[in-house]
Homo-oligomer: A and B are copies of this chain.
Amino acid sequence: MSTRLIDSLVTTPALAAAFDDEAYVGAMVAFECALARAQARVGVIPAAAAEAIVRAAEEASFDVRELARESRAHATVALPFVQALTTRVEAVDRTAAAYVHRGATSQDVIDTALVLCVRRAWTSIAADHRRIVDALRRLSDAHAQTVMLGRTLLQPAAPTTFGLKVAGWLGGIARAWRGWLTSYRSLLVVQCGGAAGTLAAVGPRALDVERAVADELGLGVPDAPWHAHRDRVAAFAAAAGIYAGTLAKAARDIALLMQPEIGEAAERGGGSSAMPQKRNPSGSTIVLAAAQRLPGLVSSVLAGMAVEHERSIGGWQAEASAVADAVQAAGAAAAALADVLESLVVDASRMRRNLDATRGQVLAEQLLVMLAPHLGRARATELVKDAVVESQRSSRSFAEVIESMPEAMAHLTAQDVAVLAAPERHLGAAEAFRTRLIDRAFAAEE
């Protein structure tokens, strides 16, 4: 019951489960149990009360429709949840009910619950990320020597290797992951501030209680309650957006390479409801669709940061939905890309054919560099352009055309012409960049 069908491309079953009603209520329950246990440990409430609260909470079932309806009356789901929980505890132990949610405020429950849901989602995302980087390393290593067209503005540029292209994806994804991971770790802190962020109602041992709640939940203790300061959440959401952007880069490249007129790579693909012959870049499409949600969601979280005083009128209340959507979309993109990469079929010979179809004209840059010192830049440019035109007109190779131009050959060695005929000799630092990218990506992973 976790995935809403209309959202099925922008989440996964595992991710949807991390934010569904069971998970969300469970996370609120976890906060209240941790609070009770912590106060008992510190000695500010009776141990028996804490036990009763935990027992009742863990056994309770909640009417989610009712909670949803009531949440609209109070602009928070925490209030009806705490009331419902108190009723459950009262049924079991009247005295213990007095200690439910003691000293805490709605936002303590909601914020900590969100952190717990995110942590649950993270496990599945991290596994998919691992699959991505492993697949990328394999692909890059396998294609270190696979020469292909570089393409700028969708037009042939100088040659490159598929290994470098893939390592470029890896570099971006690994750097973005490091950023997301950093912000994720910063987010793993408890929210425990009470009515106005001073924990006053908890009493003199408030800091001990805060520490104990955090320990119970396996979370860190922040410098201070962050009810009114959403930078950690915003940084986490923004980093999700950046990570998704790096996934989208790879997916778009793959979808473009999979155009049959190019045909250099293909994912296993999905079908069409109308056309039996179709093989679609379905995985890449999901990556791009999911990633597209992020910029808007990030902007929404950023726009909510200007909290009014100690709790906002709207900005904060809009945050949890956006964060849940952002995590699911970024994670859905990761899951889809992992699948795509693990089964990507690369057609190295087609890469070569497409490169050869340019008849070497993509090395015009190189020729210009060689001739300019001898002929002057202006004349060299003219001559190179003439050669390009002639190669296009005559369907002869660029090297052949050059060899027929005495003005050019006066300044070129046989070796120079050989380079022009052999794009694999015009790869510059491709391999050096490739290994640097992989080394740093995996260094960062440690």
Q: Is the CB of A76 within 8 A of B273?
A: yes
Decide if A307 is an interface residue (CB 8 Å cutoff). Answer: yes
Q: Is the CB of A82 within 8 A of B299?
A: no
In the complex, which of the residues B75, B171, B306 contacts A9, with contact meaning CB atoms closer than 8 Å?
B75
For window 168-197 of chain A, which residues contact chain B by CB distance below 8 Å?
168-169, 171-172, 175-176, 179, 183, 186, 194-197
Q: How far is the CA of A114 from the CA of B269 in the complex (A)?
A: 25
Q: Which of A119-127, A129-137, A364-372 contacts B (4 or more CB under 8 A)?
A: A364-372
Q: Is the CB of B271 within 8 A of A74?
A: yes
Decide if A296 is an interface residue (CB 8 Å cutoff). Answer: yes
Q: Is the CB of A362 within 8 A of B13?
A: no
Contact with B along A272-292 (1 / 0, CB 8 A): 111111111111111111111
In the complex, which of the residues B5, B78, B294, B307 contacts A67, with contact meaning CB atoms closer than 8 Å?
B5
Given A275-B158, A285-B313, check contact A225 B150 (CB 8 Å).
Answer: no
Q: Is the CB of A309 within 8 A of B151?
A: yes
Decide if A47 is an interface residue (CB 8 Å cutoff). Answer: no
Which chain B residues lie closer than 8 Å to A94 at the CB level?
376
Q: How far is the CA of A315 from the CA of B441 in the complex (A)?
A: 25
Which chain B residues lie closer than 8 Å to A20 at the CB level?
4
Q: Is the CB of A300 within 8 A of B296?
A: yes
- Report A298 CB to chain B, min CB distance, Å: 6
* A interface size (C-beta, 8 A): 200
Q: Is the CB of B153 within 8 A of A75?
A: yes
Given A76-B273, A105-B274, A275-B157, check contact A373 B317 (CB 8 Å).
Answer: no
- Report A126 CB to chain B, min CB distance, Å: 18
Q: Is the CB of B201 within 8 A of A259?
A: no
Which chain B residues lie closer than 8 Å to A426 at the CB level?
200
Q: Is the CB of B354 within 8 A of A261?
A: yes
Decide if A154 is an interface residue (CB 8 Å cutoff). Answer: yes
Q: Is the CB of A155 within 8 A of B315?
A: no
Which chain B residues lie closer than 8 Å to A396 at the CB level?
none
Q: Which of A212-220, A239-247, A402-410 contacts B (4 or more CB under 8 A)?
A: A239-247
Specify which of A253, A262, A288 lies most central, judged by the most chain B CB atoms within 10 Å of its CB.
A288
Q: Is the CB of A242 within 8 A of B238?
A: yes
Decide if A6 is an interface residue (CB 8 Å cutoff). Answer: yes
Q: Is the CB of A305 within 8 A of B197?
A: no
Decide if A252 is an interface residue (CB 8 Å cutoff). Answer: yes
Specify which of A25, A65, A71, A365 lies most central, judged by the most chain B CB atoms within 10 Å of its CB.
A365
- Report A327 CB to chain B, min CB distance, Å: 11
Q: Is the CB of A109 within 8 A of B273?
A: yes
Contact with B along A76-99 (1 / 0, CB 8 A): 111100100010001000110111
Decide if A414 is an interface residue (CB 8 Å cutoff). Answer: no
In the complex, which of the residues B69, B228, B246, B302 contacts A13, with contact meaning CB atoms closer than 8 Å?
B69
Decide if A145 is an interface residue (CB 8 Å cutoff). Answer: no
Q: How far is the CA of A103 from the CA of B373 in the complex (A)?
A: 13
Residue of B with least CB distance to A192: B429
In the complex, which of the residues B199, B256, B298, B430 contacts A302, with contact meaning CB atoms closer than 8 Å?
B298
Q: How far is the CA of A81 from the CA of B104 in the complex (A)?
A: 47
Q: Is the CB of B159 within 8 A of A285?
A: no
Given A153-B313, A198-B428, A426-B200, check contact A377 B90 (CB 8 Å).
Answer: yes
Residue of B with least CB distance to A19: B6
Given A202-B428, A261-B262, check contact A152 B284 (CB 8 Å).
Answer: no
Q: How far is the CA of A398 from the CA of B285 in the complex (A)?
A: 28
Q: Is the CB of A365 within 8 A of B201?
A: yes
Q: How far is the CA of A306 from the CA of B197 in the complex (A)?
A: 27
For window 204-261 of chain A, which residues contact chain B by CB distance below 8 Å?
206-207, 210, 223-225, 228-232, 234-235, 238-239, 241-242, 245-246, 248-249, 251-253, 255-256, 258-261
For window 1-39 of chain A, which residues contact chain B by CB distance below 8 Å?
1, 3-10, 12-13, 19-21, 24-25
9 closest A-B pairs (Cβ-Cβ)? A288-B314, A150-B196, A245-B305, A200-B428, A296-B296, A74-B270, A98-B372, A296-B300, A152-B311
Supplied contacts A245-B306, A249-B305, A295-B299, 6 more A-B pairs, CB within 8 Å: A95-B373, A98-B380, A176-B235, A223-B437, A223-B440, A260-B357
